[in-house]
């Protein structure tokens, strides 16, 4: 599930797998409920004693672990800004604890992966998931979706009597993930999370994608780190697009908005380059290093 900070894994892979999940459900006309999570940072929210215990479990010596702990506890931090380095500093304090190794730390990705593994393996084996079969129908496939570092999407097609079960199952999965994320120091910004549902109505032998009005339903969650109030998660139409890891995809498979976005990159670049005083060589360098990567990132997915 995790494609971030791992060898041979790409950001593209996570988005491509999301796209393929949608594609399979569209072709098979299977129902699907899916939520995109918006996590609040990750490296700055890691609980230090927890990851130190995980490092011990992996076999790191007690003296090395103690050295890391002492370093995190005693280090003084200063802020580097436009006019130099701040004269004031801050450090860890029992009443104002500092969490995690901090953004930019080389050990940060490893420690977050350990937390992610803990979250993933703490999910109940009975948790709702996406259930598919291989093309030759010989091998069952079960997963809950894809993640890149702390950006994750969760989905399920588990349903019993009616599609109302589908929404309640997604609610169970999403709330479980939120609680486990919080237990390792993380948090979800529930107001920026959103969900959608794929389902079809058959008319004259043809399947038509149903909109929100035809398929009412709501997902409500609580945030462990905020308050006890229940928050209703925003829902989008299956025909609407959303940006995930820099790529615009559509549950309904329309690419018009993604094409418009990519075209706007080219038009903005063209306008700026025409009004600049760059030499031909400088313009070519900017084209190769700046524009082409922006244009090439989305189409493969």
Helix axes 48-58, 108-122, angle to 10 degrees: 90
In a domain, 6, yes or no: no
Number of domains in the chain: 3
Q: pLDDT tens, 66-78?
A: 999 999 999 899 9
Specify whether 181 is located in the same domain as 280: no
Q: How far is CA 37 from the centre of its chain?
A: 6
* Three-state SS at 228: strand
In a domain, 105, yes or no: no
Specify whether 120 is located in the same domain as 213: yes
Specify whether 145 is located in the same domain as 176: yes
Predicted pLDDT of residue 38: 84
In a domain, 182, yes or no: yes
**Which residues 6+ apart lie within 8 Å of 187 measured at CB?**
39, 40, 45, 181, 223, 224, 225, 226
In which domain, by residue range, is 83 found? 48-98
In a domain, 120, yes or no: yes
**Mean pLDDT of successive 10-residue segments in the chain (301 residues)?**
89 91 94 92 87 95 94 91 94 89 84 92 92 92 92 90 82 94 89 93 92 93 78 94 90 87 94 93 96 90 82
In a domain, 249, yes or no: no
Predicted pLDDT of residue 226: 65
Specify whether 135 is located in the same domain as 16: yes
CB count in 10 Å sphere of residue 255: 14
Q: Are 157 and 131 in contact (CB under 8 A)?
A: yes
Give dist(CA 301, CA 295) in Å, integer: 12
**Which residues 6+ apart lie within 8 Å of 74 measured at CB?**
91, 92
């Amino acid at each position: 599930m995790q494609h971030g900070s791992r060898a041979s894994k790409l950001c593209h892979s996570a988005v491509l797998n999301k796209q393929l999940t949608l594609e399979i459900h569209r072709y098979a006309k299977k129902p699907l409920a899916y939520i995109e999570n918006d996590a609040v940072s990750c490296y700055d929210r890691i609980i230090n004693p927890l990851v130190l215990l995980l490092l011990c479990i992996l076999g790191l010596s007690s003296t090395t672990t103690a050295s890391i702990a002492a370093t995190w506890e005693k280090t003084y931090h200063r802020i580097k800004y436009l006019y130099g380095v701040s004269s004031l500093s801050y450090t860890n304090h029992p009443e104002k604890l500092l969490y995690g190794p901090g953004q930019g730390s080389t050990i940060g990705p490893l420690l977050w992966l350990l937390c992610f593994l803990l979250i993933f393996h703490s999910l109940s084996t009975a948790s709702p998931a996406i259930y598919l079969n291989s093309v030759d129908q010989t091998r069952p496939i079960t997963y809950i979706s894809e993640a890149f570092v702390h950006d994750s999407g969760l989905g399920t097609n588990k349903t019993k009597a009616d599609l109302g079960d589908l929404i309640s199952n997604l609610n169970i999965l999403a709330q479980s993930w939120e609680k486990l994320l919080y237990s390792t120091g993380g948090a979800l910004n529930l107001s920026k999370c959103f969900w959608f549902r794929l389902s079809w109505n058959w008319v004259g032998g043809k399947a038509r994608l149903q909109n929100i009005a035809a398929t009412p339903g709501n997902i409500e969650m609580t945030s462990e780190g905020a308050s006890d109030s229940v928050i209703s998660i925003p829902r989008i139409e299956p025909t609407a697009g959303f940006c995930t890891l820099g790529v615009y995809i559509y549950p309904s498979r329309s690419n018009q908005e993604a094409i418009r976005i990519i075209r706007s990159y080219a038009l903005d670049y063209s306008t700026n380059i025409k009004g600049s005083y760059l030499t031909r060589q400088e313009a070519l360098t900017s084209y190769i290093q700046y524009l082409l990567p922006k244009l090439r990132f989305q189409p493969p997915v």
